[in-house]
Amino acid sequence: MSFEMIAILGRGIQRLEETSPVEDVSSWVLTEDLELCDRDSAHLPVRAPADDDSPYNMIGGGEMNLEAGLSLIRAEKPRVAVCAFGGRSDYLESINGPSESEVMSHLLIQAIPTKKCPLVNVWKRQRQLPVPSNTRQELLNIFDLALQYRLNRIAIVTIGVHIPRTQTYVTKHLSVHPQYRQLVPIVLESEEILLTENWRKYPPRVETMRKSKSFARNWEREAIGISKIVRAVDDDAKPKVMVPAGASR
């Protein structure tokens, strides 16, 4: 089965330099495999070196998602592609930064020759919804766009630690919203896509991610989030990192 739409989920953007122009998409990069976050589990505005021993280090994966999405686009040749298809976080809105969709889409378009590039629908920074931007809403945005373009077969690409949450939301949305049941969304794991593409290049990188302390921390937190989704608890906020007194960052 070929895919008509490929949706690459977002995992955060950061600047490499604090002095780089905030409004320019070229100032921003996608999160690395391992990512040092702040005390509220949010992305740092400027990238800091990853530290797997830090209790604030989690799985990023924005770069890996894009690499896997590009691999799938080249193989499947979909009609439409979307990246991080949702509104800006409060932080990005407060500093007039770009949307994550603008940054990731810019990198995607640069990586694919024009004649082979699908229609890339970008969520512009000016477009905001009166609801928080999170995985739940991103999937609803993707499904609405698929209906708009009359596309059914959708590949949703995200990293492994994010797969259970994504699949749970897909199931919840199809259960709650009858209009989406004509869609055929399939959730695909970025790591496995890349391992299949190049089994020589990617195993060390994937193994480092999967065996990291950051993965274990993230997995525990994802489980909390999945429980909320299943119980229909209206709270997708990330739990704060609880660090024992006297522990170092």
> How many whole angstroms separate alpha carbon 101 and alpha carbon 22?
15
> How many whole angstroms separate alpha carbon 23 and alpha carbon 25?
6
Residue 169, CA atoms < 13 Å, CB-side half-sphere: 21
| Residue-wise pLDDT tens digits, 64-86 | 999 999 999 999 999 999 999 99
How much is the pTM? 0.93
The one-letter code for the residue type at 239 is P
| Residue-wise pLDDT tens digits, 154-207 | 999 999 999 999 999 999 999 999 999 999 999 999 999 999 999 899 999 999
Q: How far apart are the first and last CA of the chain?
A: 47
